[in-house]
Structure 1
Protein backbone atom coordinates (compact mmCIF):
# COMPACT_ATOMS: atom_id res chain seq x y z
CA UNK A 1 0.00 0.00 0.00
CA UNK A 2 2.83 2.40 0.93
CA UNK A 3 4.57 1.91 -2.42
CA UNK A 4 1.32 2.35 -4.33
CA UNK A 5 0.62 5.67 -2.59
CA UNK A 6 4.16 6.85 -3.36
CA UNK A 7 3.83 5.87 -7.01
CA UNK A 8 0.45 7.55 -7.38
CA UNK A 9 1.72 10.77 -5.80
CA UNK A 10 4.79 10.81 -8.03
CA UNK A 11 2.73 10.25 -11.17
CA UNK A 12 0.41 13.10 -10.19
CA UNK A 13 3.29 15.49 -9.44
CA UNK A 14 5.15 14.43 -12.58
CA UNK A 15 2.44 15.86 -14.78
CA UNK A 16 3.21 19.35 -13.55
CA UNK A 17 6.96 18.89 -13.96
CA UNK A 18 6.54 17.61 -17.51
CA UNK A 19 4.17 20.45 -18.40
CA UNK A 20 6.64 23.06 -17.11
CA UNK A 21 9.53 21.47 -18.99
CA UNK A 22 7.50 21.33 -22.18
CA UNK A 23 6.74 25.05 -21.87
CA UNK A 24 10.41 25.88 -21.28
CA UNK A 25 11.72 23.81 -24.19
CA UNK A 26 12.66 25.97 -27.18
CA UNK A 27 14.63 23.49 -29.28
CA UNK A 28 12.01 21.09 -30.63
CA UNK A 29 14.03 19.38 -33.36
CA UNK A 30 17.05 17.98 -31.50
CA UNK A 31 18.38 14.53 -32.29
CA UNK A 32 19.12 12.65 -29.09
CA UNK A 33 21.56 9.75 -29.36
CA UNK A 34 21.54 7.73 -26.15
CA UNK A 35 23.27 4.46 -25.32
CA UNK A 36 20.16 3.19 -23.51
CA UNK A 37 16.55 4.14 -22.70
CA UNK A 38 17.20 7.38 -20.82
CA UNK A 39 17.05 9.52 -23.94
CA UNK A 40 13.72 8.04 -25.00
CA UNK A 41 12.22 8.56 -21.54
CA UNK A 42 13.34 12.21 -21.52
CA UNK A 43 11.89 12.81 -24.98
CA UNK A 44 8.66 11.10 -23.95
CA UNK A 45 8.39 13.38 -20.90
CA UNK A 46 8.89 16.37 -23.21
CA UNK A 47 6.45 15.00 -25.82
CA UNK A 48 9.22 15.46 -28.39
CA UNK A 49 9.62 13.51 -31.61
CA UNK A 50 12.20 10.74 -31.83
CA UNK A 51 14.66 12.25 -34.30
CA UNK A 52 17.16 9.42 -33.99
CA UNK A 53 16.93 5.61 -33.94
CA UNK A 54 18.27 5.31 -30.38
CA UNK A 55 14.90 4.43 -28.87
CA UNK A 56 13.95 1.28 -26.93
CA UNK A 57 17.38 -0.26 -27.44
CA UNK A 58 20.88 -0.23 -26.04
CA UNK A 59 24.50 -0.56 -27.10
CA UNK A 60 27.42 -1.30 -24.83
CA UNK A 61 29.45 1.82 -24.04
CA UNK A 62 32.26 0.47 -26.21
CA UNK A 63 30.02 0.02 -29.27
CA UNK A 64 28.22 3.32 -28.65
CA UNK A 65 31.53 5.19 -28.58
CA UNK A 66 32.71 3.46 -31.74
CA UNK A 67 29.45 4.43 -33.45
CA UNK A 68 30.12 8.05 -32.53
CA UNK A 69 33.79 7.90 -33.51
CA UNK A 70 32.73 6.87 -37.03
CA UNK A 71 29.36 8.59 -37.01
CA UNK A 72 29.00 9.22 -40.75
CA UNK A 73 29.92 5.63 -41.56
CA UNK A 74 27.69 3.82 -39.08
CA UNK A 75 24.58 5.97 -39.40
CA UNK A 76 24.28 5.10 -43.09
CA UNK A 77 25.44 1.49 -42.81
CA UNK A 78 22.79 -1.18 -43.50
CA UNK A 79 21.49 -3.04 -40.49
CA UNK A 80 21.43 -6.83 -40.50
CA UNK A 81 19.94 -9.33 -38.08
CA UNK A 82 21.02 -12.75 -36.97
CA UNK A 83 18.49 -15.46 -36.31
CA UNK A 84 16.76 -14.49 -33.10
CA UNK A 85 18.56 -16.28 -30.28
CA UNK A 86 17.21 -14.16 -27.43
CA UNK A 87 13.90 -12.71 -26.29
CA UNK A 88 14.36 -9.70 -28.57
CA UNK A 89 15.92 -8.91 -31.96
CA UNK A 90 19.67 -8.27 -32.11
CA UNK A 91 20.97 -6.20 -35.00
CA UNK A 92 24.44 -5.55 -36.34
CA UNK A 93 25.90 -2.41 -37.88
CA UNK A 94 29.02 -3.90 -39.38
CA UNK A 95 30.94 -4.82 -36.19
CA UNK A 96 28.57 -3.12 -33.71
CA UNK A 97 25.78 -4.93 -31.85
CA UNK A 98 22.42 -3.24 -31.25
CA UNK A 99 20.08 -4.78 -28.67
CA UNK A 100 16.47 -4.00 -29.63
CA UNK A 101 15.11 -5.23 -26.32
CA UNK A 102 11.70 -3.50 -26.62
CA UNK A 103 10.88 -4.64 -30.16
CA UNK A 104 8.81 -7.67 -31.11
CA UNK A 105 10.49 -8.51 -34.41
CA UNK A 106 13.50 -7.76 -36.55
CA UNK A 107 11.19 -6.25 -39.17
CA UNK A 108 9.76 -3.75 -36.68
CA UNK A 109 13.23 -2.91 -35.37
CA UNK A 110 14.64 -2.34 -38.86
CA UNK A 111 11.71 -0.19 -39.98
CA UNK A 112 12.03 2.07 -36.93
CA UNK A 113 15.81 2.20 -37.25
CA UNK A 114 15.68 3.28 -40.91
CA UNK A 115 12.91 5.87 -40.54
CA UNK A 116 14.40 7.45 -37.44
CA UNK A 117 17.96 7.40 -38.80
CA UNK A 118 16.71 9.53 -41.69
CA UNK A 119 15.60 12.19 -39.18
CA UNK A 120 19.04 12.68 -37.59
CA UNK A 121 20.13 16.31 -37.73
CA UNK A 122 23.96 16.40 -37.46
CA UNK A 123 23.78 20.10 -36.57
CA UNK A 124 21.46 19.55 -33.61
CA UNK A 125 22.92 16.50 -31.89
CA UNK A 126 22.78 15.70 -28.17
CA UNK A 127 24.66 12.64 -26.93
CA UNK A 128 23.81 10.77 -23.69
CA UNK A 129 25.67 7.84 -22.13
CA UNK A 130 25.78 6.30 -18.64
CA UNK A 131 28.52 4.53 -16.70
CA UNK A 132 26.66 1.19 -16.71
CA UNK A 133 26.60 -1.88 -18.98
CA UNK A 134 30.31 -2.54 -18.48
CA UNK A 135 31.50 1.04 -18.83
CA UNK A 136 35.16 1.48 -17.83
CA UNK A 137 37.17 4.52 -16.89
CA UNK A 138 38.87 4.31 -20.30
CA UNK A 139 35.42 4.43 -21.91
CA UNK A 140 34.66 7.62 -19.99
CA UNK A 141 37.89 9.16 -21.26
CA UNK A 142 37.16 8.07 -24.83
CA UNK A 143 33.64 9.49 -24.62
CA UNK A 144 35.00 12.78 -23.31
CA UNK A 145 37.28 13.06 -26.34
CA UNK A 146 34.48 12.70 -28.88
CA UNK A 147 34.19 15.75 -31.17
CA UNK A 148 30.61 16.64 -30.30
CA UNK A 149 29.64 19.91 -28.64
CA UNK A 150 26.68 18.55 -26.67
CA UNK A 151 27.49 15.33 -24.84
CA UNK A 152 27.02 14.07 -21.31
CA UNK A 153 27.76 10.84 -19.48
CA UNK A 154 25.83 10.24 -16.26
CA UNK A 155 28.03 8.73 -13.54
CA UNK A 156 27.46 7.32 -10.06
CA UNK A 157 30.33 9.35 -8.58
CA UNK A 158 32.11 12.60 -9.45
CA UNK A 159 34.79 12.69 -12.12
CA UNK A 160 36.02 16.30 -12.01
CA UNK A 161 38.72 15.54 -14.57
CA UNK A 162 36.13 14.49 -17.18
CA UNK A 163 34.36 17.53 -18.61
CA UNK A 164 31.36 15.63 -19.99
CA UNK A 165 30.68 13.63 -16.79
CA UNK A 166 27.63 14.56 -14.71
CA UNK A 167 27.35 13.00 -11.26
CA UNK A 168 23.87 11.64 -10.45
CA UNK A 169 23.36 11.39 -6.71
CA UNK A 170 21.77 8.28 -5.23
CA UNK A 171 23.95 5.45 -6.54
CA UNK A 172 27.12 5.93 -4.51
CA UNK A 173 26.91 2.42 -3.03
CA UNK A 174 26.74 0.85 -6.49
CA UNK A 175 29.35 0.49 -9.21
CA UNK A 176 27.26 2.41 -11.76
CA UNK A 177 24.07 4.45 -12.02
CA UNK A 178 20.76 2.64 -11.83
CA UNK A 179 17.56 3.34 -13.78
CA UNK A 180 17.62 7.11 -14.07
CA UNK A 181 14.02 7.24 -15.32
CA UNK A 182 12.76 5.98 -11.94
CA UNK A 183 11.34 8.38 -9.35
CA UNK A 184 13.99 9.42 -6.84
CA UNK A 185 11.72 10.43 -3.96
CA UNK A 186 8.25 11.83 -3.32
CA UNK A 187 8.46 14.98 -5.43
CA UNK A 188 7.65 13.61 -8.87
CA UNK A 189 11.26 14.04 -9.91
CA UNK A 190 13.29 11.34 -11.59
CA UNK A 191 16.99 10.75 -11.13
CA UNK A 192 17.83 12.34 -14.48
CA UNK A 193 16.08 15.54 -13.39
CA UNK A 194 19.24 16.38 -11.46
CA UNK A 195 20.58 17.35 -14.89
CA UNK A 196 18.99 20.38 -16.58
CA UNK A 197 18.31 18.66 -19.88
CA UNK A 198 15.82 21.33 -21.01
CA UNK A 199 18.42 24.07 -20.63
CA UNK A 200 20.94 21.78 -22.34
CA UNK A 201 18.69 21.14 -25.33
CA UNK A 202 17.97 24.85 -25.62
CA UNK A 203 21.65 25.44 -26.35
CA UNK A 204 21.05 23.97 -29.81
CA UNK A 205 19.29 25.45 -32.85
CA UNK A 206 15.87 26.94 -32.19
Structure 2
Protein backbone atom coordinates (compact mmCIF):
# COMPACT_ATOMS: atom_id res chain seq x y z
CA UNK A 1 0.00 0.00 0.00
CA UNK A 2 1.21 3.49 -0.82
CA UNK A 3 1.57 6.22 1.80
CA UNK A 4 -1.35 8.04 0.17
CA UNK A 5 -3.46 4.87 0.36
CA UNK A 6 -2.68 4.49 4.06
CA UNK A 7 -3.62 8.12 4.73
CA UNK A 8 -6.93 7.64 2.92
CA UNK A 9 -7.78 4.54 4.98
CA UNK A 10 -7.04 6.33 8.26
CA UNK A 11 -9.05 9.37 7.21
CA UNK A 12 -11.97 7.15 6.18
CA UNK A 13 -12.13 5.74 9.71
CA UNK A 14 -12.03 9.25 11.14
CA UNK A 15 -14.78 10.47 8.81
CA UNK A 16 -17.11 7.59 9.61
CA UNK A 17 -16.44 7.43 13.36
CA UNK A 18 -17.30 11.09 13.93
CA UNK A 19 -19.94 11.45 11.21
CA UNK A 20 -23.02 11.71 13.45
CA UNK A 21 -21.32 14.29 15.67
CA UNK A 22 -20.29 16.28 12.61
CA UNK A 23 -23.82 16.09 11.19
CA UNK A 24 -25.14 18.17 14.09
CA UNK A 25 -23.08 21.12 12.83
CA UNK A 26 -24.84 21.46 9.46
CA UNK A 27 -28.26 22.98 8.79
CA UNK A 28 -29.38 20.69 5.96
CA UNK A 29 -29.12 17.07 4.93
CA UNK A 30 -30.23 17.46 1.32
CA UNK A 31 -27.62 19.05 -0.94
CA UNK A 32 -25.57 18.08 -3.97
CA UNK A 33 -21.83 18.25 -4.47
CA UNK A 34 -20.63 18.12 -8.07
CA UNK A 35 -16.95 17.22 -7.84
CA UNK A 36 -14.12 16.46 -10.25
CA UNK A 37 -12.98 13.57 -8.04
CA UNK A 38 -14.02 11.48 -5.01
CA UNK A 39 -14.26 14.43 -2.61
CA UNK A 40 -18.04 14.69 -2.78
CA UNK A 41 -18.52 11.09 -1.71
CA UNK A 42 -16.10 11.58 1.17
CA UNK A 43 -18.05 14.60 2.36
CA UNK A 44 -21.35 12.70 2.39
CA UNK A 45 -19.64 9.95 4.41
CA UNK A 46 -18.31 12.60 6.79
CA UNK A 47 -21.89 13.47 7.79
CA UNK A 48 -23.43 9.99 7.41
CA UNK A 49 -25.63 11.19 4.55
CA UNK A 50 -26.97 9.46 1.48
CA UNK A 51 -24.94 10.29 -1.64
CA UNK A 52 -26.89 12.87 -3.66
CA UNK A 53 -24.66 13.29 -6.69
CA UNK A 54 -23.59 11.14 -9.64
CA UNK A 55 -19.98 12.35 -9.31
CA UNK A 56 -19.08 9.80 -6.63
CA UNK A 57 -16.12 7.42 -6.73
CA UNK A 58 -14.85 8.76 -10.05
CA UNK A 59 -12.73 11.47 -11.61
CA UNK A 60 -12.58 13.68 -14.70
CA UNK A 61 -9.61 15.15 -16.47
CA UNK A 62 -9.58 18.85 -15.61
CA UNK A 63 -10.57 20.19 -19.04
CA UNK A 64 -13.42 17.68 -19.37
CA UNK A 65 -14.74 18.57 -15.93
CA UNK A 66 -14.95 22.24 -16.85
CA UNK A 67 -16.88 21.32 -20.00
CA UNK A 68 -19.16 19.11 -17.91
CA UNK A 69 -20.15 21.75 -15.39
CA UNK A 70 -20.45 24.51 -17.99
CA UNK A 71 -23.19 22.51 -19.70
CA UNK A 72 -24.18 20.08 -16.98
CA UNK A 73 -27.84 19.63 -17.96
CA UNK A 74 -26.86 18.69 -21.49
CA UNK A 75 -24.26 16.16 -20.34
CA UNK A 76 -26.53 14.58 -17.74
CA UNK A 77 -29.03 13.90 -20.52
CA UNK A 78 -26.42 11.93 -22.46
CA UNK A 79 -26.06 8.14 -22.07
CA UNK A 80 -22.86 6.69 -20.66
CA UNK A 81 -20.98 4.77 -23.35
CA UNK A 82 -18.22 2.54 -22.05
CA UNK A 83 -14.92 2.32 -23.89
CA UNK A 84 -11.81 0.20 -23.76
CA UNK A 85 -9.58 2.12 -21.29
CA UNK A 86 -6.66 1.74 -23.71
CA UNK A 87 -8.53 3.79 -26.32
CA UNK A 88 -8.95 6.80 -24.04
CA UNK A 89 -7.89 10.09 -25.57
CA UNK A 90 -6.01 10.66 -22.29
CA UNK A 91 -4.09 7.38 -22.36
CA UNK A 92 -0.69 9.11 -22.24
CA UNK A 93 -1.60 10.66 -18.90
CA UNK A 94 -1.85 7.17 -17.35
CA UNK A 95 1.44 5.84 -18.73
CA UNK A 96 2.88 5.15 -15.26
CA UNK A 97 -0.37 4.32 -13.47
CA UNK A 98 -0.36 0.60 -12.66
CA UNK A 99 -4.04 0.69 -11.64
CA UNK A 100 -5.27 2.16 -14.89
CA UNK A 101 -7.30 -0.29 -16.97
CA UNK A 102 -8.74 -2.07 -13.92
CA UNK A 103 -11.88 0.05 -13.69
CA UNK A 104 -14.61 1.20 -16.11
CA UNK A 105 -14.09 4.22 -18.35
CA UNK A 106 -17.01 5.81 -20.16
CA UNK A 107 -17.72 8.66 -22.52
CA UNK A 108 -20.52 11.09 -21.74
CA UNK A 109 -21.00 12.93 -24.99
CA UNK A 110 -17.50 14.13 -25.86
CA UNK A 111 -15.99 13.88 -22.38
CA UNK A 112 -14.50 10.92 -20.50
CA UNK A 113 -15.23 9.77 -16.96
CA UNK A 114 -12.99 7.39 -15.02
CA UNK A 115 -14.94 5.25 -12.53
CA UNK A 116 -11.99 4.22 -10.41
CA UNK A 117 -14.02 2.93 -7.43
CA UNK A 118 -16.44 0.77 -9.41
CA UNK A 119 -16.11 -2.93 -10.20
CA UNK A 120 -18.36 -3.20 -13.23
CA UNK A 121 -20.22 -1.26 -15.91
CA UNK A 122 -23.50 -2.51 -14.44
CA UNK A 123 -22.68 -0.97 -11.06
CA UNK A 124 -21.74 2.32 -12.73
CA UNK A 125 -25.03 2.54 -14.64
CA UNK A 126 -27.18 1.69 -11.62
CA UNK A 127 -25.53 4.18 -9.27
CA UNK A 128 -25.11 6.94 -11.87
CA UNK A 129 -28.78 6.89 -12.87
CA UNK A 130 -30.00 6.66 -9.29
CA UNK A 131 -27.85 9.55 -8.13
CA UNK A 132 -28.66 11.80 -11.07
CA UNK A 133 -32.27 11.67 -9.88
CA UNK A 134 -31.16 12.77 -6.40
CA UNK A 135 -29.52 16.01 -7.53
CA UNK A 136 -30.80 18.93 -5.48
CA UNK A 137 -30.56 21.89 -7.83
CA UNK A 138 -31.62 24.31 -5.09
CA UNK A 139 -28.66 23.47 -2.87
CA UNK A 140 -25.61 22.65 -4.95
CA UNK A 141 -21.86 23.10 -4.56
CA UNK A 142 -19.39 22.82 -7.45
CA UNK A 143 -15.95 21.63 -6.36
CA UNK A 144 -12.72 21.52 -8.35
CA UNK A 145 -9.02 21.02 -7.63
CA UNK A 146 -5.67 21.26 -9.38
CA UNK A 147 -5.13 17.59 -10.32
CA UNK A 148 -5.61 15.48 -13.46
CA UNK A 149 -3.95 17.82 -15.95
CA UNK A 150 -5.24 21.06 -14.46
CA UNK A 151 -3.66 24.26 -15.76
CA UNK A 152 -4.15 27.95 -15.13
CA UNK A 153 -6.68 27.96 -17.98
CA UNK A 154 -9.08 25.59 -16.17
CA UNK A 155 -8.63 27.40 -12.85
CA UNK A 156 -9.53 30.71 -14.49
CA UNK A 157 -12.56 29.20 -16.24
CA UNK A 158 -13.79 27.65 -13.01
CA UNK A 159 -13.34 30.92 -11.15
CA UNK A 160 -15.43 32.72 -13.78
CA UNK A 161 -18.32 30.23 -13.78
CA UNK A 162 -21.64 32.03 -13.12
CA UNK A 163 -22.67 29.76 -10.26
CA UNK A 164 -23.27 30.91 -6.70
CA UNK A 165 -21.52 28.20 -4.72
CA UNK A 166 -18.13 26.88 -5.80
CA UNK A 167 -14.77 26.02 -4.26
CA UNK A 168 -11.42 24.94 -5.67
CA UNK A 169 -8.48 23.47 -3.75
CA UNK A 170 -4.88 23.99 -4.83
CA UNK A 171 -1.31 23.77 -3.62
CA UNK A 172 -0.09 26.38 -6.10
CA UNK A 173 0.49 30.03 -5.26
CA UNK A 174 -0.22 31.17 -8.81
CA UNK A 175 -3.67 29.56 -8.71
CA UNK A 176 -4.91 31.02 -5.43
CA UNK A 177 -5.14 34.54 -6.87
CA UNK A 178 -8.44 33.60 -8.50
CA UNK A 179 -11.74 33.85 -6.65
CA UNK A 180 -13.08 30.78 -4.86
CA UNK A 181 -9.66 29.11 -5.05
CA UNK A 182 -8.19 28.07 -1.69
CA UNK A 183 -4.65 26.91 -1.07
CA UNK A 184 -4.54 23.93 1.27
CA UNK A 185 -1.59 22.75 3.30
CA UNK A 186 0.32 19.92 1.60
CA UNK A 187 3.91 18.67 1.46
CA UNK A 188 6.13 20.95 -0.62
CA UNK A 189 6.91 18.06 -2.96
CA UNK A 190 3.27 17.86 -4.11
CA UNK A 191 2.51 19.57 -7.42
CA UNK A 192 -1.26 19.19 -6.88
CA UNK A 193 -3.65 18.43 -4.04
CA UNK A 194 -3.69 14.74 -3.18
CA UNK A 195 -7.07 13.31 -2.18
CA UNK A 196 -6.01 12.70 1.42
CA UNK A 197 -5.18 16.40 1.86
CA UNK A 198 -8.53 17.75 0.73
CA UNK A 199 -10.49 19.19 3.67
CA UNK A 200 -13.68 17.91 5.29
CA UNK A 201 -15.54 19.00 8.42
CA UNK A 202 -14.10 22.02 10.20
CA UNK A 203 -10.68 21.96 8.57
CA UNK A 204 -8.20 24.75 9.28
CA UNK A 205 -7.93 25.52 5.56
CA UNK A 206 -11.64 25.33 4.70
CA UNK A 207 -14.65 25.00 6.99
CA UNK A 208 -16.79 22.54 5.05
CA UNK A 209 -19.55 22.81 7.65
CA UNK A 210 -19.94 26.47 6.73
CA UNK A 211 -19.80 25.69 3.02
CA UNK A 212 -22.76 23.33 3.39
CA UNK A 213 -24.68 25.72 5.64
CA UNK A 214 -24.31 28.48 3.02
CA UNK A 215 -25.93 26.46 0.22
TM-score, length basis structure 1: 0.83
- Corresponding residue pairs, total: 195
Cα distance per residue 1:84-107 (max 9 Å; x no partner)? 652111111110101011111111
Distance 1:97 1:118, change over 3 A: same
Give the Cα separation in 1 of the matches to 2:202 and 2:147: 15
Distance 1:190 1:171, change over 3 A: farther
Matches within 5 A, 1:84-123: 86-123=101-138
Give the Cα separation in 1 of the matches to 2:73 and 2:17: 39
Matches within 5 A, 1:47-196: 47-83=48-84, 86-158=101-173, 159-180=175-196, 194-196=205-207
**8 Å Cα contact 1:157/1:172 also seen in 2:** no
Give the Cα separation in 1 of the matches to 2:40 and 2:53: 10
Give the Cα separation in 2 of the matches to 1:113 and 1:195: 28
Q: Is residue 23 of structure 2 the alignment partner of residue 22 of structure 1? A: yes
Moved more, 156-165 or 34-43: 156-165
Unpaired segments ≥5 residues, structure 2: 87-100
Give the Cα separation in 2 of the matches to 1:136 and 1:118: 32
Give the Cα separation in 1 of the matches to 2:123 and 2:193: 30
Residue in 2 that maps onto 1:46: 47
Q: Is residue 210 of structure 2 the alignment partner of residue 199 of structure 1? A: yes
Give the Cα separation in 1 of the matches to 2:8 and 2:149: 30
Cα RMSD (Å): 2.9
Distance 1:43 1:23, change over 3 A: same
